[in-house]
Amino acid sequence: MHTQKQTSTSLRFILLFITLTSLVGCTASRHDQLADLGFSTPYMEGYDDGCHSKVTAAQTYNDGYRQDPERMFKEPRYANGWKDGYEQCFVANKEFY
């Protein structure tokens, strides 16, 4: 039979473990998550460029787009990634990408 002290210590350990695993999950970037899901490198590069463009466009009026026009025309995966990144990134979540 467990004593109250052993139960309290066990609960603290469990809570500490849950907290640490939750914090580790928050540190993964969007790029890492896309790579884990199996997205191709051109898609992820396009996503990063599109996301950067969205964040910068929200902060400035003149500059900001980071896009490779040749790749947009020749590589559909890059173009799709750029469009998705531009549509899904917001300034409020810039630490997420």
Residue 63, classed as helix, strand or coil, is: coil
Contact between 90 and 50 (Cβ < 8 Å): no
pTM of the model: 0.59
pLDDT score of 22: 47
Mean pLDDT of 30-53: 87
Residue type, 78: Y
Task: Give the pLDDT confidence of 49-84 residue by residue, as tens digits.
Answer: 988 888 777 665 556 678 888 999 999 999 999 999
Mean pLDDT of 72-97: 80
Radius of gyration of the chain (CA): 21
Q: Evaluate if residue 23 carries a pLDDT over 50.
A: no
